[in-house]
Amino acid sequence: MTTVVLMGPPGAGKGTHAELLAGRLGVPVISTGDIFRAQVAAKTDLGRTAQRYLDAGEYVPDEITNAMVRERLAAEDTRPGFLLDGYPRTLDQVAVLDDLLATQGRSLDAVVALRVDEEALVRRLLRRAEIEHRSDDTEDVIRRRLQVYGDQTVPLISLYSDRGVLHNVDGNGEIAEVRERLLQVAGALTPAG
């Protein structure tokens, strides 16, 4: 069983690399961003609520995000483990995840943190906005999202470092370069067969 959190600021490449990393580990990807966007597209109540926060560059409130993740981690396909992309993002979410894992008799094996220079992030996200027409990727919203990440999520990096499960990965450079760095970490996390 392998349980991994993939962290990084908006635009760091979590979505680009999550499937590859999860595939190497043999676990499903659970992306809160994908779940939010699916809810928005389906025009559910959750989607309408989430959209207001996403458009402002803010985090969706913990109680909504926690409930969604709790439900998803109860699914059968997560028994062999999972890779969380975009969760936890706050210290309160860490506490909820810790409790959830303890209830399931699991622990977190690793936190992989992608590190990318801020201006590179802004360029990536503006490029993505042009391609995907995402309402949450204007320059003002991008800079706000990076500020929120710095205020609310960066403290998790120290916490997970103190727990001895943090793996920092340089997310600067071309996709193939970052992929190689991530695969080295995945190799260290995969039990010898």
Per residue in 12-46, pLDDT tens? 999 899 999 999 999 999 999 888 888 888 998 88
Give catalytic status of residue 24 as yes or no: no
Counting residues of the chain whose pLDDT is more than 90, the rounded percentage is 63
Could you give the count of Cα atoms lying within 13 Å of 153 in the half-sphere of its Cβ?
Answer: 24
Counting residues of the chain whose pLDDT is more than 70, the rounded percentage is 97
Distance CA 182, CA 188 (A): 10
3-state secondary structure of 19: helix
Distance CA 78, CA 27 (A): 7
Cα–Cα distances (Å) from 67 to 7, 37, 82, 99, 166, in that order, read 20, 16, 17, 13, 25
Per residue in 99-138, pLDDT tens? 999 999 999 999 999 999 999 999 999 998 888 877 667 8
First to last CA, the chain: 13
* Catalytic-labelled residue, pool 37, 106, 115, 134: 134
* Catalytic-labelled residue, pool 106, 115, 128, 179: 128
* Catalytic-labelled residue, pool 14, 72, 124, 181: 14
Give catalytic status of residue 52 as yes or no: no
Give catalytic status of residue 14 as yes or no: yes
Give catalytic status of residue 134 as yes or no: yes
Position 191 scores a pLDDT of 60
Q: Does the structure show a pLDDT above 50 at 179?
A: yes
Position 136 scores a pLDDT of 65
Distance CA 6, CA 12 (A): 10
Q: How would residue 193 be classed by pLDDT, with cut points 50, 70 and 90?
A: very low
Q: Is 170:115 a contact under the CB 8 Å cutoff?
A: yes
Model confidence pTM above 0.85: yes
Per residue in 181-191, pLDDT tens? 999 998 888 66
